[in-house]
Amino acid sequence: MTEYGYFLSCEEFTPAELIDQARRAQRAGFTRLAISDHFHPWNDAQGNSPFVWSVIGALSQAVDLPVTTLVTCPTVRLHPAVTAQAAATSSVLLGGRFALGVGTGEALNEHIHGDRWPSFDDRAAMLEEAVEVMRALFTGRQVSHRGRHYTVDNARLYTPPDGPLPVYVSGFGPNAAELAGRIGDGFVTMTPDADLVAAFREGGGAGKPVTGGVKVCWSSNRDKAVDTVHRLWPTELLPGELAQLLPTPAHFEQASELVTRDMVDEAVTCGDDAQQHIDTVRAYARAGFDEVYVGQIGPDQEVFFDAYRELVLPALRS
């Protein structure tokens, strides 16, 4: 049965707001949490970018829900050995209720050291090697590794996970889905695409969970909601590989000039039509997803959680 979680957006909210949302999500009946990992927001209007590992530590003390990163890039900004230590500590703090969602990343977050931004094929190879390194470290044994992309010299996690720490691999095309099936314990993708789910299953992902997420804007004033999304998240509608290649929030703001308000109105679930929200989220279950995370855009968090507790989540579970 599909589980429904809440998506915590580090790009849009302060650490204190994220913790408050997590508590509200648990009270509303969401059974899981996902959290983004960004160094920069997508644009200045979003205006936040806390260090995800600090927030996860606070979440472990605030709520009892499982937490998944959607997603972390363990290849450029942070070395996979450092990411493994952060993930292992998160798993211990959460009593094993932690999954590490990983992906090949975006230049927006990973360019900050001034390194060349690799091609997708290189990033995929880096991710595969990084997952290998992290899994070796999760055992708690001493690890030395000399690979094409990474070196690890006599490293050992003295606070390893207490049990299995699943690694979910993100992807948005058939090649990435195949990679996720081959090296991942699960698959992360953000559109309810049954063909991608099938590619993952056929590529080695049979029996492994598929995870996705969707952003909505619940509001009694639909026009206001559309305006809110258009101001804060036009980047969701940018085409192709722009999201992986543009390096700064200013570049995303320039590209977002191509996204019209009408495009947002058509593509994003806005307003207080409960059935529309139900249909939007249910599409993921119908496509074969095991976990779906819903994020509320904008400041109207209380009305969102009230509506989902009373109207949306009961219908999804019926």
What's the confidence (pLDDT) of residue 192? 97
What's the confidence (pLDDT) of residue 67? 98
Which pTM was predicted? 0.97
Q: Which residue has the tokens 């600090």?
A: 54
For residue 217, the 8-state DSSP code is B
Q: 250-306 pLDDT, tens per residue? A: 999 999 999 999 999 999 999 999 999 999 999 999 999 999 999 999 999 999 999
Instruction: Supply the angle between the helices 120-138 and 80-93 in degrees, to the nearest 10.
Output: 50
What's the confidence (pLDDT) of residue 31? 98
Percent of the chain at pLDDT > 90 equals 97
DSSP of 287-311: TT-SEEEEEE-SS-HHHHHHHIIII
| CA-based nearest residue to 159, from 99, 94, 96, 92 | 92
Which are the catalytic amino acids? 38, 106
Exposure pattern of 150-181 as b/e (b: 16+ CB <10 Å)? bebeebebeebbeeebbbbbbbbeeebbbbbb
Query: What does pLDDT average to over the chain?
Result: 97
Q: 227-263 pLDDT, tens per residue? A: 999 999 999 999 888 999 999 999 999 999 999 999 9
